[in-house]
Amino acid sequence: MDPESEKYYMEELEKQHKADLEVKAILQDFEARHEVMATIISDVSSGQAAMATNISDITNRQEVMATDVSAVSARQAVMATNINNITTRQETTTRDMDHLKDDVAAIKDTVNVISANTSHVKEIHPDLKPMIETAEARINKEKENLFYPNKGFRDAKVKLQKNRVVVIKGNTGDGKTAIAVQLLRWLSQEQGAGFLVKKEKHLSFDKDVVVVKEKHWSVEDVYRFNHDSIYVAVALLYGKVTPIGYIQNCPRKSLSYLTTSETATNMIVISSDHYTEMCERLLREFDCKESRYGTSIDSLDVWNDEEEYDDDICIGSLDVWNDPVFLISFVGLLDDRKIDKLDVLNKACYSGAEECALYLLSEGVKPDKDTELWSLFNRHRNDRNRQVCLLKRIVVYFSDETKVAMLNEACYYNADECALYLLSEGVKPDKATELSLFYRHWNDSNKECFLKKIFVYLNDETKVAVLNKACYSGAEECVIYLLSEGVKPDKETAWGSLINRHRRDSNRQLCLLKKIVVYLNDETKVDVLNEVCYHGAEECALYLLCEGVEPDKETPFSVVKGRRVKVLRKLLEYDVTPTARDKYNNNNVLHMACECKKEEMVTLLCDTYPHLVHYTDMLGRTPLHYVVGTGNCSIFQILERSVLNSLYRVEDQQHKCESVDGRVVHRNCVCAQYMAQLVDMDGRMWIWGNREVCLYLCQSYPALTTAVDNDGKTVLHKSCEGGNREVCLYLCQSNPALTTAVSKDGRHCLHYIAWSEFSDVDVFTECETHVKQYLESTGRKYDITTIFDNNGESVLDKAKEGAKKMARLWGTENNRLLDYLIDVFGKQK
């Protein structure tokens, strides 16, 4: 029946029974009031009977009291008073009864008048009866033409009679609403005149699923938002006598209003076989490029009795995918339209349409790198059993490479059971596998360690990889378990990271070490010794040494880096320290101690092995070079004392040094010669660098100020190049002749100041003053524009080169020294 006919029919029925309902309401009201009056009259009669009983009791008591005259007289006086009170109450009650009788008579008269006035309503005028019968016959005939009671209607009727509720499931155009309307009409015919429900009991959810078009939406947008016509339902609910609810086109959450047990037991399905329109619409969903928040088609899925999820659910959760007939129709449409099935597979996986994805895979569609297979499992991330069931169904279509990728996804998303299943099926982890899943829950008291479940499925290589990951992450119990199962560590095992986890608790460090060391061979124990020494775990290092672990050539360097003097003292008992050499740059332990600025260690090594001070690394640098680079003058003096002591052992007058103002000065002695010869393999001098050490060397070894390296640079050149202002000024003042010295490329000290990124105008002008004074003192004229290097570059040219370098390094174009020199050269012209 079309909406207009249905509306007309319902209006006619309402008009016909409107008067009946009004009269019934009035009569029910009068009857209630009459019952109240009757109750009051009954209460009055009961009161009169009680009073009569009281009077009889009084008479009996008077007869008894007559035996005692004095007592009877006293009691009679009291009795007389009571009798007077009772008489008064009887008179009052009599008056109230008369008033009540009058009220009841008035009510009866009113009821008779109303009945007389409405009597014509109950009787339909004889002239109208034929017209009403004709109209009813015409309406019934029209209903027969508009609706045919098909199997769906008959099934719904049986379900409604049996369960008092029915849910009608079907596709667009299957006739769900028409069946629901006919069921309501059938109920009205079955239950007679009182079939209509009051408005306040009528539940309608039609507006809950209607999308209002916004101005900025296009036609396609509206089409995409209006998903409700794809998969809707109609539900009816009625009571023992009259219906109490009608729900049409309701989303899943609306079914919570139905106080029933299982939706499935109250459902009939009237879907067509071909799903043509639904296939078209779902295909549009897959083709839609843009995803909008809050427009999930899953809101149409009213057939799941599962709990609601908070997450957005997409098109993939529609129950229609569970229908093999629909899947065949849908894939057939893909073939007809020549649509890329791989693209549909990728979108089905992304949307969580697992049945669609499974069907496409069974049809031979192969996933590629863009296929987000794990999206199918994310939908069930709170139900591991469902994840595993889905994995078992889908993994049969995967290649070995895809299976490994799925294992990696399972590990990444903490899907323990899925990872366990894949491993049990022979899938081997690769380098991308997130192995931390295997031991992440070890310390979780509420869960058995996952590692114990999967250990039997891991090969030796993977077991070692898990051990290394566990050590790095500090999973100590996991490490102990793996070691107890015979896993052999390799060179990559991070013992230091494991033990250093308790770096603030040396007792815990030692307890952990004692637990793991029992599983290690001698070679691995040495590796552990080096690691604990490097991380400064003093108690652990001393324990291993006392337990007989022999240090190797790496141990002394680890001890120095760990900065534990007590461990170094213990290590000196072994022969490995004086001969140990670093495998990268061939330096010795003293080199390392100087570089780490450990003064106590340097003193201990120089006192124990004084010859180490003369050893050089692969670049020809002695420990003196290292300490000058660090700028620690105290450590330098410790090394210097060791050097001088070794030189003084030869009795020779040339070894005698001078004393100036109480300070030793090495001018022409063998000590000065030794220091002047200390150049590295590239011929670089070693005295420039730190200001304090450099000044000490220049003052103690004056000959060093005139020494040059392989490039012909003096200490002044190097100090100007490094921007060491104090050393530059000291050298210019103490040895003015250095101001005119040039390097092999002909560069003057002013060239180096102008070129240096650390210089400024003040340093340049002060040094320039000393240069000018020395030239003029020797009878020469100073002209800055005439100072050129071997390439013909002036001081200004080097300043411009230095400015470009600074602009490249620091991103600044401002250079005060360049501006100053441009001004000076401009005036000279």
Residue 483 lies in a domain: no
Please check whether residues 161 and 93 belong to one and the same domain.
no
Pair 398, 365: CB distance under 8 Å: no
Instruction: Provide the β-strand partners of residue 235.
Output: 167, 247
Last residue of a domain, one of 129, 158, 181: 129
- Position 211 scores a pLDDT of 34
Burial of residue 333 (number of CB atoms within 10 Å: 0-12, 13-18, 19+): middle
Residue 434 lies in a domain: no
Give the domain extent around 183: 147-269
- Position 755 scores a pLDDT of 92
Please check whether residues 68 and 151 belong to one and the same domain.
no
Q: Is the dihedral of CA 595, 597, 598, 599 positive or negative?
A: positive
Residue 763 lies in a domain: yes
- Position 814 scores a pLDDT of 77
Residue 662 lies in a domain: no
DSSP-assigned states of every residue in 591-639:
HHHHHTT-HHHHHHHHHH-GGGGG---TTS--HHHHHHHHT-HHHHHHH
Q: What is the CATH number of the domain that holds 737?
A: 1.25.40.20
Please check whether residues 166 and 110 belong to one and the same domain.
no
Residue 814 lies in a domain: yes
Please check whether residues 715 and 825 belong to one and the same domain.
yes
Rounded to whole angstroms, the Cα distance separating 554 from 496 reads: 15
Scanning 123-163, the segments in alpha helix (DSSP H) are: 129-146, 151-163
- Max alpha carbon distance in the chain (Å)? 171
CA 69, chain centre distance (Å): 104
- Position 208 scores a pLDDT of 32
Residue in the block written with tokens 């378990």: 481
Please check whether residues 125 and 153 belong to one and the same domain.
no
* Residue 712 zone, left/alpha/beta (φ > 0; ψ -120 to 50; rest): left
Please check whether residues 160 and 122 belong to one and the same domain.
no
Scanning 458-564, the segments in alpha helix (DSSP H) are: 460-473, 476-484, 495-499, 506-517, 522-534, 538-546, 555-562
pTM of structure: 0.57
Reduced to 3 states (helix: H, G, I; strand: E, B; else coil), residue 810 is helix
Neighbours of 101 (CB within 10 A): 13
Please check whether residues 87 and 195 belong to one and the same domain.
no
Q: Which among 690, 744, 692 is positioned nearest to 714, based on CA atoms?
A: 744
**Residues 6+ away with beta carbon under 8 Å from 250:** 205, 208, 209, 232, 233, 234, 235, 302
DSSP-assigned states of every residue in 283-314:
HHHHH-----TT--GGGG-----SPPPSS---
Reduced to 3 states (helix: H, G, I; strand: E, B; else coil), residue 690 is coil
Please check whether residues 232 and 184 belong to one and the same domain.
yes
AA letter at 515: K
- Position 447 scores a pLDDT of 43
Residue 591 lies in a domain: no
For the chain, state the CA radius of gyration.
53
For the chain (length 829 residues), average pLDDT per consecutive 10? Answer: 58 61 61 62 59 60 55 58 62 63 61 53 65 75 70 79 70 70 70 42 33 39 32 42 42 41 57 61 63 37 34 54 73 83 87 86 89 86 88 91 90 86 90 71 55 85 89 87 93 89 90 94 94 94 95 94 94 91 91 93 94 90 86 89 77 56 66 75 62 81 82 88 86 90 93 89 92 92 92 93 86 83 81
Burial of residue 179 (number of CB atoms within 10 Å: 0-12, 13-18, 19+): buried
Residue 757 lies in a domain: yes
- Position 500 scores a pLDDT of 87
Rounded to whole angstroms, the Cα distance separating 736 from 743 reads: 16
Q: Is the dihedral of CA 752, 758, 762, 766 positive or negative?
A: negative
Pair 409, 434: CB distance under 8 Å: no
Please check whether residues 121 and 154 belong to one and the same domain.
no
- Position 628 scores a pLDDT of 82
Please check whether residues 751 and 799 belong to one and the same domain.
yes
Please check whether residues 265 and 216 belong to one and the same domain.
yes
Rounded to whole angstroms, the Cα distance separating 483 from 477 reads: 10
DSSP-assigned states of every residue in 308-342:
PPSS---GGG-GGGG-HHHHHHHHHHHHHHT--HH
Rounded to whole angstroms, the Cα distance separating 437 from 415 reads: 9
- Position 528 scores a pLDDT of 95
What's the total number of domains in the chain? 3
Rounded to whole angstroms, the Cα distance separating 613 from 190 reads: 115
Last residue of a domain, one of 218, 253, 269: 269
Residue in the block written with tokens 């709170």: 382
Rounded to whole angstroms, the Cα distance separating 618 from 681 reads: 8
- Position 249 scores a pLDDT of 46
Please check whether residues 261 and 172 belong to one and the same domain.
yes
Residue 529 lies in a domain: no
Pair 512, 502: CB distance under 8 Å: yes
Calculate the alpha carbon distances from 106 to 97, 112, 409, 679 in Å.
14, 10, 88, 135
Last residue of a domain, one of 129, 164, 197: 129
